[in-house]
Amino acid sequence: NYLRREMELITNVTEYEKLAKERLPKMVYDYYASGAEDQWTLRENREAFSRILFRPRILIDVSHINMATNVLGFNISMPIMIAPSAMQKMAHPEGELATARAAASAGTIMTLSSWSTSSVEEVNSVGPGIRFFQLYVYKDRNIVRQLVKRAEMAGFKAIALTVDTPRLGRREADIKNRFTLPPHLVLKNFEALDLGTMDKTNDSGLASYVAGQVDRTLSWKDVKWLQTITSLPILVKGVMTAEDARLAIEYGAAGIIVSNHGARQLDYVPATISCLEEVVRETKGRLPVFLDGGVRRGTDVFKALALGASGVFIGRPVLFSLAVDGEAGVRKVLQMLRDELELTMALSGCTSLREITRAHVITDSDRIGRARL
């Protein structure tokens, strides 16, 4: 009863993290929570949002607010979707299945990690829902072919190709903890290929697994190769510069996810919200640009949309709420973010997503520009 009361008192997404830390084994919490090296980018992913301020418009009829949007031709209830996060059964016995149900009930998209502890077929079996599949490209391309085909057969609607992980970032908490997948779990999509388990090492077991399996030769030509093995649209996840945005268009990507992998790969890259405008400017509306990293409030979502994002993906809030309260926790996180976005829109004078414009926010670069004037 005390726990239930505690959960009823949760009023924002961030509060789930403290409760998750109390419940999860240290190795698991550290794996979900930590960033690379000094964790500067981990902090900056949040702090950069706090430097963007609003320019609200007033005396606008906001009695009806519409947050619905369309992503790659799929209608969803709001521009808030679920990012791929690995090994969710470490957080809760139902893992990715609970997340999939929560996303479907909220009318939004879930992205399933390649390294999920539930298979694409199991996730499909929970019922209808719009789902994307995140792909790591293994050295053995037959494995990739098989996996993409299985995702297609299981009704997944797009591939989110992660492009920022030729090697795993140095996550020192995982090295200290000698992180490995708990013995009762496997990477379900690779179970039949005898690649579902991780060896114990003196380092991070996941880093060793990645070194052994993931293809470091991955390049732009492989985006073209993927198009020959699947008809699904391909989102390139991990773009942070205008130069790479231009190449993504050139190589036929269906969309871009501006991401620094939750600050888990290269430390001292800027926050994703700080890279967003550069990428959006380069795409000139030719393909949708999404953002992940550091989104914890409806105000963050609004800021991303004002700077040109077509939507955002959330990662850690899903893991922490899943750890605390399973499917109900994930549902509540999605509902809280939805409610906060609706309130932000009302107080900024926007009744639909297309009314959210660059004129609704002030960034660091605006302040510098004004100072020069």
- Cβ-contact 242, 282 below 8 angstroms: yes
Listed in sequence order, the DSSP H helices in 214-241 are 220-229
User: Is 292 marked as a binding-site residue?
Assistant: yes
Cα–Cα distance measured from residue 28 to residue 79, given in angstroms and rounded to the nearest whole number: 29
User: Is 308 marked as a binding-site residue?
Assistant: no
User: Is 237 marked as a binding-site residue?
Assistant: yes
User: Is 113 marked as a binding-site residue?
Assistant: yes
- Token digits of residue 294: 């550091």
Q: Which of 118, 42, 52, 116 has its CA nearest to residue 83?
A: 116
User: Is 351 marked as a binding-site residue?
Assistant: no
User: Is 150 marked as a binding-site residue?
Assistant: no
User: Is 85 marked as a binding-site residue?
Assistant: yes
Cα–Cα distance measured from residue 251 to residue 267, given in angstroms and rounded to the nearest whole number: 27
Amino acid (1-letter code) at residue 162: T
User: Is 294 marked as a binding-site residue?
Assistant: yes
- Token digits of residue 297: 């409030």
- Token digits of residue 97: 């299945």
- Residue 74: what are its φ and ψ, rounded to 5°? -105, 130
User: Is 316 marked as a binding-site residue?
Assistant: yes
User: Is 166 marked as a binding-site residue?
Assistant: no
User: Is 261 marked as a binding-site residue?
Assistant: yes
- The single residue of 64, 92, 184, 261 carrying the catalytic annotation is 261
Q: Which of 310, 314, 258 has its CA nearest to residue 288?
A: 310
CB-based burial label for 124 (10 Å; 0-12, 13-18, 19+) = buried
- Token digits of residue 362: 């002030």
User: Is 293 marked as a binding-site residue?
Assistant: yes
Q: Please identify which residue in the block is written with the tokens 């008809």.
A: 231
Asked about 360 being catalytic, the answer comes back as: no
Q: Please identify which residue in the block is written with the tokens 């699947």.
A: 230
User: Is 295 marked as a binding-site residue?
Assistant: yes
Known binding-site residues equal 31, 84-86, 113, 134, 136, 162, 171, 237, 259, 261, 264, 292-296, 315-316
Known binding-site residues for FMN equal 84-86, 113, 134, 162, 237, 259, 292-296, 315-316
Known binding-site residues for glyoxylate equal 31, 136, 171, 261, 264
Known catalytic residues are 261
